[in-house]
Every structure is written in structure tokens, then in C-alpha cells.
Amino acid sequence: MLDDQSEEILKLIEAQSQVAGRFTGPKRLPGDQPGFFSLVLSATDSVTGKPVALKFYKIGGEGDSDYRRAAFEREARILEVLRGQEYIIQLVVPRTTIEIPLLHQPTGVTIRFPLEFLALEWASSSLEAVIAKGHLDPRKLIQQFRHVCKGLQRLHRQKICHRDLKPGNCLQLPNGTVVIGDFGTARDYGPGVPALKLSYDRPVGDMGYTGLELICGLGNDSSLSFASDFFSLAAILFEMVTLTPLSGYIYGEALDMQAHFGAIPADRRRQVFDGTISAISEPLRLPDLEDFPIVLPLAIRGRLNRLYQKLAQLDYRRRLTSFDEIFRELEICGRLLERESAYRRWLEQRRRRREVRAVQGSR
């Protein structure tokens, strides 16, 4: 639900024939606004003729306004760093300030209202919307999940941790490619890049896709933030296959653990967490993909389940964090699907030949 100020700002932007002299017909997206830090509209780029997304800094709203502005500026910087990276949403125009003239009715004076925005390439959908439509074709599922993994690999190579990876932030371009977007909570751990906050007692992103170590307040360790991104991959894969959020199986217990670890001094949390996670993991056993009425071919069902389980290890020390291994497993799954498809085609051809011979024999 939009607050009154955001609603008025959206109306103000929509009333503009052009934004920054380039983007025409700004129009809010259908449904709820997706961002905590921003307001998003669609528009047409008059230079290319293509649709774009305009992401405006959200003035007002809840929370620390200084932090929210800093997060918006951080996203702009990260998108600049990621220019040209495949499987990452691309920046069309960097952070820009525009001034919209407003007539102050009581005085008749025109004032200029400043707004900041980014222009991004247009994404026609998201994995969240794809999942909502029902079961994915297995080959498409493997392909799109691989796109997400490729995008995350490129982030990590740049020492950037996403920290809010989920289906809604995995955007589908019109050509079907899935790219990672929404870097409002991402953290650049590159040399000389300061943190917006010195410490975090809770995850900055969606807890439903966050590793247990961050839920328990260990997010100040950069290595654990990167490890949590791999847990997010597991949660995305689980949801793509089962159409069910993984959080439903661990969220209640995770909140209890969060409350418990919140009472432990920050400098002792990792030691306590490491000492107890093995005992915690068994009661919080994650479900198998095979526990669900899924449509995955038998040839890849067990292999995908093992990949998801490795990525979803609640003990971050045992979690799969090797992109090479992830891509190797996905490649094998793709080849197995090709073999099964070829076998089915051969069976169908044989059936048709038998029918033809039967017809010829009856003449």
C-alpha cells in the first residue's frame, strides 16, 4: 500500500510528457511498488525506441531516510561497476536529478521539485511471476536457474554480495534471459568501499531467502554474507521446482533462533553459532524435492535434489559455494534431458513405423 506522499509523487511523474528530455510516457507498474528505497515506472526511451524502467528515489517513507538515500546511491554506483556484465540488469542512464516545476497556489510562485532516478533496461517479468504461473518446462527451468547462477558469479567476482537474492529480484528480459536486479541492499566489499552501517543485527534483505547464519546476526562477516547468497540460490531452485517457498519449512524455527542469538554479544555469536549448528541442523532437516508432486523427469530429479541440498546446508561450513560444481551439475542435467528427449523421439518414431507397417499389412 503506497503512502500518500509516494502516491502524489507517482502522479506528478506520470503527468510529465518527458523525463530528462528523453523518456516519454512514464507510467507506474501494475500492482504494488516493488522497492523499499524507490518508486518504479515504465517509459519509452526516445533515443532507442525501447521500453525502460525508471527507478526514482523514494522521498519520505519508513525508516532512516539518510540510510535509504545512501542505499539508493550505492545501487547507482554498483550498477555502474556492473555495466556490460551479462545476466545483470543493465543501466541505461546513471543517477540523474530532474526538477519538476510546481505552481504554489497560495502565492502563485513556481517552485522546482527535485527528483533523482536511474534508467534501467526493461524486464518484462520475473521468476516470481513465472513461478506463479505453474510448473516450468524442465529444460527452461535448468536454463533460467543457470542464468541466475551466472549473474551471481559475476557479482562475486567483483566482490559484490547481493544480500537480497529471491525470485522477485531475478528479472526476465523480453528475450527470455534472466538477469539479477535490485541492488538496494547489495554490498560492495571491494577495497576502499565503506559500509553504510558498521554492524547488522538482522539480515538486510528478505529473511525467507537468507542463510541461517545471517538471520542469527552474523552478517558483519563478509565471508558469511557471500555464503548466504548461495543459500538464496537453493531457496530459488527449490521454489522453481516445487512452486513452494522454502521458508515455510524453517521460518518459525529461524525466528526463534534469531531471538536467541540476539541476546548473545556480537563478538561471541559466531563462536556460539559454530558450536551449535550441527545439533540444530538435524531438527531443521530440509525437505527433499522428491517429497513433492513435481513434474521433473526421473533422470534429473535425484541430481537436482542433491544440488539443492548442498546449496541449502544450514551449516555454512558445509554449504556448496563452488560455481564450477554448480555449473557442472546443471550441465549434466541438461545433457540427461537431451538424452531422454532423444529417447522419447526414437520411441515415437518406432511407434509410428509400427502403425504404418500394420496398415500396410492389412491391405
Q: Tell me the C-alpha distance between 170 and 235, whole Å.
A: 13
Average pLDDT, integer, range 106-116: 80
Average pLDDT, integer, range 76-82: 96
Helix or strand (DSSP H, E) at 53: strand 51-57
> What are the Cα distances from residue 27, in Å, to 12, 13, 36, 186, 300?
11, 8, 19, 27, 43
- According to CATH, where is 1.10.510.10 located in the chain? 123-363
What's the one-letter identity of residue 357? R
Residue 290 pLDDT exceeds 90 = no
- According to CATH, where is 3.30.200.20 located in the chain? 1-122
Bigger pLDDT: 346 or 22? 22
Whole-model pTM above 0.85?
A: yes
Burial of 33 (C-beta count, 10 Å sphere; 0-12/13-18/19+): middle
Q: Which CATH topology does 1-122 take?
A: Phosphorylase Kinase; domain 1 (3.30.200)
Q: Tell me the C-alpha distance between 149 and 179, whole Å.
A: 10
Residue 356 pLDDT exceeds 80 = no
Q: Tell me the C-alpha distance between 274 and 184, whole Å.
A: 30
> What are the Cα distances from residue 5, in Å, to 2, 12, 34, 78, 107?
8, 11, 16, 28, 22
The pLDDT, as a whole number, for residue 98 is 94
Q: Which pLDDT band, with edges at 50, 70 and 90, does 103 fall under? A: low
Q: How far apart are the first and last CA of the chain?
A: 72
Rounded to 5 degrees, φ, ψ at 329 are -65, -40
Quick: pLDDT tens for 206-231. Answer: 999 999 999 998 888 888 999 999 99
- Taking CA 322 as the corner, what is the angle to CA 82 and CA 78, rounded to the nearest 5 degrees? 15
Dihedral sign (CA 47, 53, 58, 63) = negative
What does R_g of the chain's alpha carbons equal in angstroms? 24
For the structural domain made of 123-363, what CATH number should be given? 1.10.510.10
